[in-house]
Amino acid sequence: MVVVLEKNITANQTLNIVKHLEEYGFRVHKTVGVQQTILAAIGVKPEFDTRKIKILDGVAEVYRITEPFKLASRQAKEDNTIIKIKNVTIGGDEIVVMAGPCAVESEDQINKIAELVSKNGAKILRGGAFKPRSSPYAFQGLGEEGLKLLKQAAEKYGLLVITEVMEIGQIELIGEYTDIYQVGARNMQNYSLLKELSKVNKPVFLKRGLSATIEEMLMSAEYILSNTNKDVILCERGIRTFETYTRNTFDLSSIPVVHKKSHLPIFADPSHATGMRDKVIPMARAAVAAGADGLMIEVHHDPDAALSDGPQALFPDQFSEMMRQIKLIAEAIGRKI
């Protein structure tokens, strides 16, 4: 931690600051500059609340020097985390596509979609059985019945399964059906849930919260990594800004940033980021071009009839076209799908 002192600090104020630092367990090293003095507080305390020092008289600014996340950090593990689930490898050269409907609606629906997902080269079937909806009056998902239909369809077409878990009580049940647990954006800081998921033996797909910084996303990954689970896949899905012409602002810069700061793979979800299917193809291309390790895409055999999020689901033809285009982009940057 670095403590910058005010120019006109008194000797007593400096003494008081040093005393506080020492009581909190730091060794203090002083550097006198031309106009200002700085104190280097030596000692590793990632959880230390720097405001405890910032609030003291005579302190101009305080900087934490260690990032608050450790296990998620590239400094802790230089090589990329590669996650292998059955025949699918996430985090390597291959760009992996997860696709499917917002929600599982019926056996017929999920089978039709699984077929088209598989036929076009995607490897993982997505679909919600428990849905977090902002209105208590909206469709809330089929529950366990949905999980069963999802797993059957995935097996029939040789796909893996990813589905969302919303609460601790669902972890065991969902674990019987899914290959990957999805944590939605609104639960990115549901620490109780994250702690429980740190103990499961399946990968967790962690979506960035609407207003979460990249650092906070990595801190939430840290929660999951802090126990036995070592497999976290991050996902950029748009952040909240002042712009109203799009549903969210798709922060694609987070992809190279995460690749620098962390060894974890990062996906992108252009369906939720833009909220409208006519924006999904260009933004899927952009995500791949920016270096995303995979995509999560909503697709429906009949989007007009979808029970939720139909407007952001691609039509089957659009999905095929998107897959065709991103394969070309992947090749252009030396990757494959």
Check binding of 328 to its own copies (CB under 8 A). yes
Q: Are strands 266-268 and 294-298 parallel, antiparallel or unpaired?
A: parallel
Least distance in angstroms from the C-beta of 107 to its own copies: 23
Q: For the range 63-68, what are the long-range contacts, defined as Cβ-Cβ under 8 Å and sequence gap of 24 or more?
A: 63/1, 63/2, 63/4, 64/1, 65/1, 65/2, 67/215, 67/218, 67/261, 68/215, 68/219, 68/222
Cβ atoms < 10 Å from Cβ of 157:
17
Of 193, 264, 295, 314, the one binding its own copies by CB under 8 A: 193
Least distance in angstroms from the C-beta of 86 to its own copies: 30
Rounded Cα gap, residues 333 and 30, in angstroms: 48
Check binding of 290 to its own copies (CB under 8 A). yes
Measure the N-to-C terminal CA separation of the chain; round to a whole number of Å.
44
Of 120, 163, 178, 274, the one binding its own copies by CB under 8 A: 274
Of 13, 14, 18, 68, the one binding its own copies by CB under 8 A: 68
Q: 255: Cβ–Cβ under 8 A, 6 or more apart, which residues?
A: 236, 266, 268, 287, 290, 291, 292
Q: Classify 226 in phi/psi space as left (phi over 0), alpha (psi -120 to 50) or beta.
A: alpha
Rounded Cα gap, residues 50 and 24, in angstroms: 11
Residue 180 Cα distances to 158, 231, 263, angstroms: 15, 10, 19
Q: By C-beta, is 96 or 165 nearer to its own copies? A: 165
Q: By C-beta, is 179 or 309 nearer to its own copies? A: 309
Of 63, 86, 155, 158, the one binding its own copies by CB under 8 A: 63
Name the residue among 222, 219, 254 with its Cα closest to residue 239.
Answer: 254
Residues 196-255 that bind its own copies (CB under 8 A): 198, 209-211, 213-216, 219, 222-223, 226, 239-246, 249-255
Least distance in angstroms from the C-beta of 167 to its own copies: 4
- Give how many residues touch its own copies by CB under 8 A: 112
Tell me the sheet residues that pair with 207.
Answer: 235
**Which residue carries 């549903």 as its tokens?**
247
Residues 107-166 that bind its own copies (CB under 8 A): 132-139, 166
Give me the phi and psi of 160, to 5 degrees please.
-85, 170
Check binding of 82 to its own copies (CB under 8 A). no
Q: By C-beta, is 158 or 282 nearer to its own copies? A: 282
Q: Interface mask (CB under 8 A) for its own copies, residues 166-185, using x and -?
A: xxxx----------------
What amino acid occupies position 291?
A: G
Check binding of 273 to its own copies (CB under 8 A). yes
Q: By C-beta, is 228 or 244 nearer to its own copies? A: 244
Check binding of 33 to its own copies (CB under 8 A). yes
Least distance in angstroms from the C-beta of 97 to its own copies: 16
Q: By C-beta, is 56 or 88 nearer to its own copies? A: 56
Of 152, 171, 286, 321, the one binding its own copies by CB under 8 A: 286
